[in-house]
Amino acid sequence: MGGTLKIPLSEANMEHVSVLKNDVEKLLELKKGEIVVDATLGLGGHAMMLLKNVGKTGKLIAFEQDERNLKEAKKRIKEFAKEVKNVFYISDNFRYLKKRITEIGIEKIDAILFDLGLSSPHIDDSNRGFSFLNDGPLDMRFDERNPLTAEIVVNEWKEEDLVKIFYEYGEEKYARKIAREICSHRKAEKFTSTLQLANFIEVTVCGGIGKRWKEKIHPATRVFQALRIAVNDELKALSDALDQAAEMLNIGGRIAVISYHSLEDRIVKQFFKELQQPQVTMEESIYRNHGDPIFEPITRKPIVPTDEEIEQNRRSRSAKLRVYKKVRELPQS
Ligand SMILES: C[S@@+](CC[C@H](N)C(=O)[O-])C[C@H]1O[C@@H](n2cnc3c(N)ncnc32)[C@H](O)[C@@H]1O
């Protein structure tokens, strides 16, 4: 199954509809001349809007760890703003935000956007192994320069580590059973393809060949989410980047995060909850329970796509946008 010939997605077929673009634009309140970071460039849809808002005197710093998306976005942005010279492209993981931005001589930023997770070309190209709608290799890397693939995780990781990721990153209630069966099966046959793994999980969860899953969500969905998060170390990268973004923002600067599953959203919510009610210093502790807020929420509740947006772009359906404004410097550590 793993050897099936695959046709790569052509550049002409690369499409991604930017999610909640108008809301991001409205809530970031960018001004001409500001420095804005797009931490997840994708195909550049949000970036072009950000660039338009900061104008010729502003700067856009764009991170993208997928080489193909970066190349395509560069082409589109060049086309969109022919004479722009104020865009810095960084072909790296946003977890190196501070290091990579200071390397280009910039210390502080005015706004940053994270539009997390996958872009449509990742799902549409079965060669990337993110989806099991069509067969493809068990890959799932955003950054193909990284050595760790889903195939390595599934075939080589210890059973208890698989249980842990299926449970923690997939919130999969059959984590133990699926991990046990995978580890037993792989002794005889390696897992190499997405459909092979998805079908195996379906049989494992449904209790036998020929019995099929009847619910809306395929039983492999959560395991695929878990593998993707593990392969790309997504949650740790997000926590690391939030720390650095909070530090690098100017006072009055804003951060917008669009997340697509509850694990990401929880990290964002918890991170800013602590900065809205930071721990007290020794002096403050005599009078109060917490220090002055460092960030204030611009969105009390997350913004979600309208029915109309979901109808036009099904992939936006799980999106949640949260925006916060920095109101005070972080205490020196
Ligand atoms: C949802 S898409 C962004 C789409 C983009 N906002 C647009 O309008 O076209 C997320 C993108 O972020 C990239 N990405 C995900 N995690 C990343 C990380 N830790 N560092 C850098 N890029 C990342 C993915 O490769 C993907 O292209």
User: How many angstroms is it from 44 CA to the middle of ligand 1?
Assistant: 9
Residue-wise pLDDT tens digits, 16-37: 999 999 999 999 999 999 999 9
Q: What is the per-residue pLDDT for 146? A: 96
Who contacts 252 (Cβ-Cβ below 8 Å, separation ≥6)?
110, 325, 326, 327
Give distance in angstroms: CA of 84 to centre of ligand 1: 22
The CATH fold assigned to 11-120+234-326 is Rossmann fold (3.40.50)
pLDDT tens string for the chain (333 positions)?
Answer: 344 445 566 665 788 999 999 999 999 999 999 999 999 999 999 999 999 999 989 999 999 999 999 999 999 999 887 766 799 999 999 999 999 999 999 999 999 999 999 999 999 999 999 999 899 999 999 999 999 999 999 999 999 999 999 999 999 999 999 999 999 999 999 999 999 999 999 999 887 655 666 667 898 999 999 999 999 999 999 999 999 999 999 999 999 999 999 999 999 999 999 999 887 777 766 776 777 899 999 999 999 999 999 999 999 999 999 999 999 998 876
- Supply the pLDDT for residue 1: 38
pLDDT single digits (tens) 293-322 = 999 999 999 999 999 999 999 999 999 999
- Of 120, 105, 114, nearest to 38 (Cα)? 114
Q: What angle do CA 30, 35, 41 make, to 5 degrees?
A: 90
Ligand 1 atom, smallest distance to 42 CA:
27
Condensed to tens digits (0 to 9), the pLDDT of residues 57-72 reads 999 999 999 999 999 9
CA of 289 to the centre of ligand 1 (A): 38
pLDDT of residue 135: 95
Name the β-bridge partners of 112. 37, 255
Q: Nearest residue CA, atom 13 of ligand 1? A: 40
Of 228, 314, 315, nearest to 264 by C-alpha is 228
Residue from 21, 50, 142, 238 whose mutation best tests the ligand 1 pocket (most atoms within 8 A of CB) = 142
* Domain locations along the chain: 11-120+234-326, 122-232
Residue nearest to atom 8 of ligand 1 (CA): 45
- Which ligand 1 atom minimizes the distance to the CA of 143? 25
CA of 114 to the centre of ligand 1 (A): 8
Q: What is the atom index within ligand 1 of the atom nearest the CA of 69? A: 27
Is residue 87 within 8 Å of 64, Cβ to Cβ? no
Strand partners, 100: none
- Ligand 1 neighbours (beta carbon < 6 A): 16, 18, 40, 42-46, 63-66, 69, 93-95, 115, 117, 119, 142, 237
The answer to whether 30 and 105 are in contact (CB under 8 A) is no
Q: Which CATH architecture has domain 122-232?
A: Orthogonal Bundle (1.10)
**pTM given for the model:** 0.93
Which protein residue's CA is at the shortest distance from atom 15 of ligand 1?
A: 117
The DSSP 8-state label assigned to residue 173 in this structure reads T
For residue 311, how far is its CA from the centre of ligand 1 (angstroms)? 22
Distance CA 304, CA 112 (A): 19
